[in-house]
Amino acid sequence: MDTATRRRAPDDTRTEIIDKALEVAAELGASGFTLDAVAARTTVSKGAVLHHFPTKIALLEGMIDHLGQLHTDGILAEAARDPEPYGRNARAYLRATVTEPVTPQDVSIGRVVMAACAIEPALALRWKGWIDRVKADDPSDPVGADDALMLRLIADGLWMSDLFGLHQVSAEQRQALLSLLTPGHPITGNDA
C-alpha cells in the first residue's frame, strides 16, 4: 500500500460522501435516503459519514450547499452574458430553471430536497440563503422589484410543477415563458 495515500485527505472523503448521497437520493428517493444507504455506497463506513456530518440534517445541509453553489454558479454565468443590467439575475434565474434539462435524477434529488426543507425549517433557511446570495449579487435587483419577483415566482412554480408533475409544460411553452423577457414586457427595463 502506498505510503502517500495510506490516509486520504478528509476533504476528499467529505466530497465523496456528498456525491454519493446525491446518487442515493437520485436512485432511491426520499424514503430510501438513509445514512446506512449513503454509507454503503461510499468507500468509507457509516461511522466516517457521521464523523464528517454529525447528524442527518448536517448531511442534507452539505448537499443543499453543494447544489446551491452549482445553481448559483450557473445563474451568475448566465447573467454575465446579459447586456442589460436591470433585473439581470432574475432573468438568469428563470432562464436557468426553464432551460436546464430536468433529468429524472434531478427530479428525484429535487424531491428529496423539497421534502427535507418541508420537514426541517433549518434546511429551508439554508436554501433561502442561496437565493438571497444571488439576489444580493445584483445591485439593480432591490427587494421591491415587483417584476423581478414575478420572474422568480414563475421559475419556482415551474420547478415545483416539474418535480410533482403538476402541469405538463411543453418545450414551446417553456420558450414562451422566456418571451416574457423580450422588450415590451416587464422586467426588461425598456418600458419602466
* Segment near a second copy (CB under 8 A); pick from 16-24, 41-49, 69-77, 125-133: 125-133
Least CB distance from residue 187 to a second copy, whole Å? 12
Least CB distance from residue 53 to a second copy, whole Å? 19
Cα angle: 142, vertex 146, 150; to 5 degrees? 115
Residue 191 DSSP code: -
Q: Which of a second copy, DNA, none does residue 52 bind (CB under 5 to 8 Å by kind)?
A: DNA
Residue 85 DSSP code: -
Residue 121 binds DNA, judged by CB under 7 A: no
What mask, x for binding DNA by CB under 7 A, covers residues 2 to 41? -x--xxx-x--xx----------------xxxxxx-----
Instruction: Please select the residue that binds DNA; options are 41, 56, 111, 133, rule is CB under 7 A.
Output: 56
Least CB distance from residue 61 to DNA, whole Å? 12
Nearest residue (CB) to DNA, 56 versus 133: 56
Whose grid coordinates read 446506512? Answer: 36
Instruction: Please select the residue that binds DNA; options are 41, 51, 71, 133, rule is CB under 7 A.
Output: 51
Q: Which of DNA, a second copy, none does residue 157 bind (CB under 5 to 8 Å by kind)?
A: a second copy
Instruction: Please select the residue that binds a second copy; options are 16, 131, 178, 189, rule is CB under 8 A.
Output: 131
Instruction: Please select the residue that binds DNA; options are 27, 29, 41, 48, rule is CB under 7 A.
Output: 48
Whose grid coordinates read 442515493? Answer: 24
| All three cell numbers of 32 | 430510501
CA-to-CA distance for 110 and 106, rounded, in angstroms?
Answer: 6
- Classify burial at 155, counting beta carbons within 10 Å of its beta carbon; exposed 0-12, middle 13-18, buried 19 or more: buried
| All three cell numbers of 57 | 440534517
Alpha-helical (H) ranges within the chain are 10-32, 35-41, 46-52, 56-80, 88-99, 104-119, 121-137, 146-164, 171-178
Residue 9 binds a second copy, judged by CB under 8 A: no
